[in-house]
Amino acid sequence: MASKAYPVAIPAAADWRDFLALTKPRVLSLVVFTGLCGLLAAPQSINPVLGFTAVLCIAMGAGAAGALNQWYEADLDAMMVRTANRPLPAGRMDRQSALHFGVGLGAFSVILMGLALNLLAAAILAVSILFYVVVYTIWLKRRTPQNIVIGGAAGAFPALIGWAAATGRVETLPVLLFAMVFLWTPPHFWALALFINSDYARAGVPMLPAVVGQRATRIQIMLYAVPMAVAAVAPWPLGLTGALYGIGSCLLSALFVLLAVRVGFSRETDQAAMKPERQLFAFSILYLFLVFGLLVADKVVL
């Protein structure tokens, strides 16, 4: 007996906006900014054309990682309200197009970085793309609530890449910036996870609140906020930055920790009413922009 045929939805032809959406523009803006600041804060000046090329490569590499993430997670995205309108789950693009776009963009970004800047920057860029796609997206995200902790390293690479593009080496300051972003990622994402936990639970993603509960997650947010603040402030006492960055990072980090403590002691269980969590999530994005902006301003003043 012939098997019963079921209708198959054929994706509509994708346009440029769908390919742009694959790159996760909101995330991309933060990645590009931290990469640019890492490049500008480096002790050696760089030709503007080469500097633009380096930032473009960072943007393309991050966009490629975002596209490959959406290619692999199309099934999860379809189950979450926050991501259901992305090109793949919404049926505006087929998975093969997303795969080819992501691989091509990523390969081109690494090759261009190596040819135009240096092999170290290209190697770190390649590692960052592979780490996000293979380690975080494919290996960790569906398997462990520590997905964000380990996978957070992927988002910490841009400043390191920018510095390496300008200098051809890795030094203490960009390593501290890497550590700061690495430690910033868990409280940033767990604050989000607290007030959209039902979305992650529906998709079966083992985010920390769904696995260990809200109380334990709040404690973890506080615990990560403290070493993050230490990493952010450390360049000043180590003599790597001036007082402008030092004082500014102290004030901003103190506010971040205060907001994290408020989340830690909150007893709110209604996702719609989680004001401290929403405030921490919103400020965490602003925090990173301001700290990296201070880094560049401090160099200009010096």
Taking only the tens place, the pLDDT of each residue in 228-285 is 999 999 999 999 999 999 999 999 999 999 999 999 988 866 666 678 889 999 999 9
Q: What is the mean pLDDT of residues 182-188?
A: 94
Same domain, yes or no: 160 and 178: no
22: pLDDT strictly greater than 60: yes
Number of domains in the chain: 2
256 and 145 together in one domain: no
Does residue 205 share a domain with residue 182?
yes
Average pLDDT of the segment spanning 60-72 = 95
Domain that holds residue 250: 171-302
Based on the fold, state whether residues 292 and 191 are members of the same structural domain: yes
- State whether 297 and 176 are in the same domain: yes
Residue 11: inside a domain = no
Same domain, 252 and 275: yes
**2-11 pLDDT, tens digit each:** 434 333 344 5
Residue 10 lies in a domain: no
Mean pLDDT, residues 12-19 taken together: 78
Does residue 228 sit in the same domain as residue 118?
A: no
Are 38 and 147 within one domain?
yes
What is the secondary structure of the chain as a DSSP string? Answer: -PPPP---PPPPPP-HHHHHHHT-HHHHHHHHHHHHHHHHHSSS---HHHHHHHHHHHHHHHHHHHHHHHHHTHHHHHH-TTTTTSTTTTTSS-HHHHHHHHHHHHHHHHHHHHHHT-HHHHHHHHHHHHIIIIIIIIIITTT-TTHHHHHTHHHHHHHHHHHHHHHSS--HHHHHHHHHHHHHHHHHHHHHHHHSHHHHHHHT---HHHHH-HHHHHHHHHHHHHHHHHHHHTTTTTTSS-HHHHHHHHHHHHHHHHHHHHHHH-----GGG-HHHHHHHHHHHHHHHHHHHHHHHHHHH-
Task: Evaluate whether residue 6 is within a structural domain.
Answer: no
82 and 126 co-located in one domain: yes
Mean pLDDT within 69-90: 88
Average pLDDT over residues 203-209: 79
CATH number at residue 21: 1.10.357.140
Q: Are residues 113 and 180 in the same domain?
A: no
Across the chain, mean pLDDT equals: 89
Return the percentage of the chain with pLDDT > 90, whole number.
63
91 and 154 in a single domain? The answer is: yes
158 and 25 co-located in one domain: yes
* Tens of pLDDT, residues 125-159: 999 999 999 999 898 888 888 888 887 888 899 99
